[in-house]
Amino acid sequence: MNWIILIIAGFFEVGFASCLGKAKQATGNEMYAWYAGFLICLAISMTLLIKATQTLPLGTAYAVWTGIGAVGTVLMGIFFFKDPVNFWRIFFITTLVGSIVGLKMVSN
């Protein structure tokens, strides 16, 4: 169950990073709404990470959480923010996903 909580926490990490990207592009009240989304996603992500680390090893949980956040944020950047796509970006994202899966497989 805590692995599911950790994965959801990682998705909220993607959410807070994406809100920062959108806030940078917005002005006025829309910008403040994106910053509010950032704070909400940050609070949820941290709360879930704390919950997951109650039973999962801290180092593994943190690595998986940041990995999900990194992969998700890169994908959000590619699909929604028009970030560049090239072989090496995809290659290293793929190796990161493999590392996350590997950590899950070797953890108790």
Model confidence over 5-31: pLDDT tens digits? Answer: 999 999 999 999 999 989 999 999 999
**Reduced to 3 states, what is the DSSP secondary structure of residue 87?**
helix
SS3 30: helix
R_g (Cα) of the chain, nearest Å: 15
Widest Cα–Cα separation across the chain: 48
pLDDT digits (tens, 9 = 90+) for 33-65: 999 999 999 999 999 999 999 999 999 999 999
Range of the domain at 74: 2-106
User: Tens digits of per-residue pLDDT, 64-106?
Assistant: 999 999 999 999 999 988 899 999 999 999 999 999 889 888 8
Instruction: Report the alpha-carbon distance of residue 27 to residue 78 in Å, rounded.
Output: 23
- Residue 53 phi/psi, 5-degree rounding, is -75, 0
Q: State the total domains in the chain.
A: 1
Tokens coding 80: 């929604």
